[in-house]
Amino acid sequence: MVEQPVTDSGAAVRELRKQAGVTLRGLAAGIGVSVGTMSAIENGKVGLTVDRLRQIAQCLDVPVARFLESPQPEKAEAAGDPTDWRVFAPLTLDPVLESAIDVFEELGYHGATMRLIAAGADISVAGIYHHYPSKQHLLVALVNIAHADLARRLDAAGDGVDAVTAFANMVEALTLFHVERRALALVLATELRRLEEPNRTHLQASMAQIEGRLLDTARRAADLGAFRSGDLSVATKAIVTMCLAVPTWTDDSDAAQGRRIAREYANLALGMVGFRADR
């Protein structure tokens, strides 16, 4: 008898895989499918049979019932208030970009192929080329989405508060982005050198704006006597660099830990610019 596919468990597979510390490639190898097919499963593009769920459960060492639990609904405010920079609703990405993040994260830009990405999005190779002519176009699209999201959050974090609070908020927002959007941030951190001109120059300008925004805020606080005097550019550059590196040593299985890291980074950053609470 042919088993009916279980089509709504992809998100649960992704979440439980991450909790188990298993990579997409590792799970794909464990159940004998390609990385592209595994990505398609997690993105809900390929249905799961009970037998396949049992295989995945065995690889992840979790009960099959865990995959059938109803996910917690998103809070209504998660997508409703663009000024709440601490809330990270899922990005609205097309299936091709979702698959590209998975494949780039697992195999790197050079190891990824349009065929694998197409398989993860459950479309034909010809279909993916219709929307994205090359891997470069995919990478550029992801960069633009990431930086638009990050710029909005930094603006909201620094809006309507004093310079010291704005500085701390912006560092927290920058760190939170690299925690909450870890897969996307990790792809950007490791693959940006693959960008071709003029996209590379545009990205460098975008990064310079982020650093400049933080430096300008630090200088305003210094003018008020809250931060040490002198050149703050090196400290600001170091702060941005440490925030960008967060995805390389964290995982996304513990959201509460990520939020703690973001707050700790904000406190570390205040120390690096010589914050004086008794001014």
pLDDT at site 146: 93
Residue 141: band (very low, low, confident or very high) from pLDDT cuts 50, 70, 90 = very high
CATH 1.10.260.40 residue ranges of the chain are: 10-67
pLDDT at 12 exceeding the cut of 80: yes
Average pLDDT over residues 214-237: 96
CA-based nearest residue to 149, from 183, 166, 113, 174: 174
Instruction: Classify domain 135-272 by CATH number.
Output: 1.10.357.10
Lowest-confidence range among 15-19, 38-42, 74-78, 149-153? 74-78
pLDDT at 81 exceeding the cut of 70: no
Count of other CB atoms within 10 angstroms of residue 86:
14
- Residue 99 tokens read as 């698959």
pLDDT at site 104: 93
- Which stretches of the chain are DSSP H helices? 10-20, 24-31, 35-42, 50-60, 95-111, 114-121, 125-131, 135-158, 163-180, 182-191, 199-223, 233-244, 255-272
Bond preceding residue 198 cis, omega within 30 of 0: yes
Count of other CB atoms within 10 angstroms of residue 182:
20
Residue whose pair of structure tokens reads 């995982």 in the numeric block:
251
Distance of CA 90 to the CA centre of its chain: 10
pLDDT at site 2: 39
- What percent of the chain shows pLDDT beyond 90? 51
CATH 1.10.357.10 residue ranges of the chain are: 135-272
Average pLDDT over residues 41-70: 80
Residue 253: band (very low, low, confident or very high) from pLDDT cuts 50, 70, 90 = low
* Domain 10-67 falls under CATH 1.20.1560.10: no
